[in-house]
Chains A and B, each alone.
Chain A
């Protein structure tokens, strides 16, 4: 084909070692040199470019969140050039006919202007909103990956807390952003927030007056949320993001178990050029998908919701999806009311304060809880597959089930409409589900994990058949595991030289990785036995020499 002309004529010598330093230098090199020569950054730069990242597609989900955040910052900055954070009332005179002449707040007016009178403004606004939804989704996926692979364990328990704080900040960013247009939905959301704050024991009413500048609705709240949304929260997110990524940099990324992978090394590709090119590619792909969403699909049509009016109401009044669990909690918790003396603990204290506190408290405490339950205080750099830790996976599945039912509860009217049932029935089913489904999910997830883990086969024997290295340098399977090895399709027992090499590579190295001993050798740390709850049966006395030899030394 004609394209062939453009193909390289010969097989490229793709990469070469650095040329001698005295050759003619390019512009980029001179620029880099001029900076690093003044900062001593040369070593850092080289080390950074050579940093190794293990490659697995699930490791890219955190980047998805990072890149949607970048899109949020860029589009958000554009929006601030037009948005007015004020509740001052004025008459709408823009080009959207069905609202002309309405008394609207300056905030709503400016959002209408962005949507209908600023060329390209609607595109940017919709991109911003879609990015927010994607941002939270990517965070959720990333967090699930970190949890189910055990990446939140020491030494990354600290970064787990940082990440969770980022999640909380992101939720706050999302909620404040949802509130800024001052349309019917956002006003309703703020109204509910006001109600929840009012319900807080002792200080609720005073606190609500402080935040809203007096009795609901006041005239201050939009103007106050604006700097919070565009300055305080983003600055906090950027700062914590630096800590989050800095810790990943410093602690190096976790990796899945595999041949040659140990607690003491990282196996993967270097930042430059391979990882960086792909990662920057992902940035542009993310931005591309979000732009396409903003261009093609309508989101948050504030002109249909209209300006906020405290007496107006609309059905299908939901928050953006990531607040859905809170909405569900508020919808599903029964009308409990506890009287203490002359005071009331209102249902909103349970649904709006207690349940979210339990959810986030559990998340913050996850590393501690796991440490308590397993007694495992060692460092971990190798990841578990979810099946390797059935109890952890089961707890995770139960928690996700709980939150998922809350999500359904937050959309119970949509669910009722979809399945054509009465809202009351759907609510009752979900209320029971909230209590019954998590234990069921726990049992099922645990059973699935154990079944998967125990399934035998040549490809699935990693945790079953350890290999020892003898004093003479040969390898053999420990006596009490020979049967496992045979069952798994292994050849006759004996030294490794007698066993088919293919088998030995897979099961040998992987077994070594499968138990927790490497960490001891690496970190000189105390007891690391029983790493995770599932690692216990990966007995065997492997040592990290086996792993080292997978890597070709100098």
Chain B
């Protein structure tokens, strides 16, 4: 590529025009980055221009009206739809008007501008290399200083680690413990304990340990199912008279497993707990074992007992951490 951006084309121009119109391009203009050759181009006037002019006029009128409408709407009570529509008309009108104006001016043009080469020339490359070498010979000569400066930055970085550590405490096994201890009652959101005898079958309740309503890691989904549906191991793990309780926190990503579906239509008599976030499906009749979706493990089961007053209580904490599985829960 020649150094001058325009001279090459300039030289070829006349001949191009002579070759049977091969390059006679009505709207081609060469624009160099040299300001002195600036030029405006006038282009043929056509019917479309007047259409665009009218469109721009109407658009700006709409914009004015829209702005006024928005202002008026604010003083009335209609501040959602009307205010917004007014503003939308004002903004859209300006935009439509500007584009129409540009179209009216009919500046669609075909201007040619040369690209500057992006890769360095040999001379430029040499100069940079020279700078680098010079730096190495002057600043870089004192190896000790260079090394110490690097060391300073490294220790600075290490020094900043401490404050980052303050962002959160070190895990101390909180996730292994919940609010459930032996003898603690299961209570609903309003603090009511659940009586062993109270339940009809296929019922669902979200319960917490007494005195800890709303505590995240202790939320439990309490079901009462017909006992003949329950597997032996489920009963052994702490089902009581058809009552079964599982951690409500999904073992997949931790959402609340709040969806309980019942289906008695033969042949698939189904009881299933589903996590609405990622559609993991658990079978509450069989230890909440995962039967579909991405959850890899069953929901931890809470062993149930009954106290002197006939209310359901926990027999202890879950036998493993609730919620999503972490790296060291192998």
Residues of A within 8 A of B (CB): 3, 6-8, 11-18, 43, 46-47, 50-52, 55, 119-120, 122-123, 127, 155, 188, 191-192, 194-196, 198-202, 204-206, 209-218, 220, 250-252, 259-260, 263-270, 273-274, 277-278, 280-289, 291-292, 294-296, 309-317, 327, 330-337, 339-348, 351-352, 379, 381, 412-413, 423-424, 427, 473-475, 496-497, 501, 504-505, 508, 521-525, 545, 548-554
Contact = CB atoms under 8 A, between A and B. Distances in A.
A327 B276 CA distance: 12
A267 B112 contact: yes
B130 interface: no
Contacts of B24: 552
B88 A47 contact: no
B33 A50 contact: yes
22 contacts: A46-B35, A122-B80, A188-B255, A195-B323, A205-B327, A209-B168, A211-B167, A216-B254, A270-B31, A278-B102, A280-B98, A284-B98, A287-B91, A288-B91, A289-B88, A296-B85, A311-B216, A316-B276, A317-B255, A340-B330, A524-B1, A553-B10
Nearest to A3: B54
Contact of B105 (A155, A267, A273): A273
Interface range on chain B: under 10, 10 to 19, 20 to 34, or 35 or more?
A: 35 or more
B161 to A, nearest CB: 11
Interface stretch (B113-121, B146-154, B234-242): B113-121
A212 B168 contact: yes
Interface stretch (B135-143, B196-204, B288-296, B312-320): B288-296
Contacts of A310: 214, 216, 219, 256
A315 B259 contact: yes
Contacts of B231: none
Interface string B156-190: 00000000110111110011000000000000000
Contacts of A508: 22
Contacts of B277: 188, 192, 313, 317
B256 A265 contact: no
Contact of B108 (A123, A192, A274): A274
Contact of B19 (A212, A379, A475): A475
Contacts of A55: 108
B235 to A, nearest CB: 25
Contacts of B53: 7-8
B111 A424 contact: no
A291 B231 CA distance: 58
A214 to B, nearest CB: 5
Contacts of A15: 40-42, 105, 107
B324 A199 contact: yes
Contacts of A220: 168
Contact of B276 (A313, A351, A554): A313
B224 interface: no
A553 B11 contact: yes
A191 B99 CA distance: 46
B107 A287 contact: no
A265 B115 contact: yes
A191 B255 contact: yes
B20 A281 contact: no
Contact of B22 (A3, A188, A549): A549
A554 B30 CA distance: 8
Contacts of A347: 252, 294, 296
Given A210-B167, A313-B276, A473-B15, 4 more contacts: A205-B171, A269-B109, A330-B294, A337-B296
Contact of B117 (A8, A214, A344, A524): A524
A139 to B, nearest CB: 21
B155 interface: no
Nearest to A203: B327
Given A313-B258, A523-B118, A501 B21 contact: yes
A122 B79 CA distance: 9
A252 B115 contact: yes
A210 to B, nearest CB: 4
A119 B87 CA distance: 14
Contacts of A155: 118
Contacts of A550: 16, 23, 25, 28, 112
B95 interface: yes
A549 B174 contact: no
Contacts of B102: 273-274, 277-278, 281
A348 B253 contact: yes
Contact of A344 (B41, B50, B54, B329): B329
B306 to A, nearest CB: 24
B19 A288 contact: no
B77 to A, nearest CB: 9
Contacts of B193: none
Contacts of A332: 294
A455 to B, nearest CB: 26
Given A123-B79, A265-B112, A343-B327, A553 B12 contact: yes
A528 to B, nearest CB: 12
A406 B1 CA distance: 48
Given A294-B84, A335-B293, A553-B11, A192 B255 contact: yes
Contacts of B330: 339-344
A416 B174 CA distance: 38
> When A and B form their complex, which 8 residue pairs have the shortest distance between CB atoms, in order from nearest?
A295-B84, A553-B13, A288-B92, A284-B95, A285-B95, A281-B98, A549-B16, A274-B107
A344 B28 contact: no
Contacts of A13: 42
B8 interface: yes
Contacts of A277: 98-99, 101-102, 105
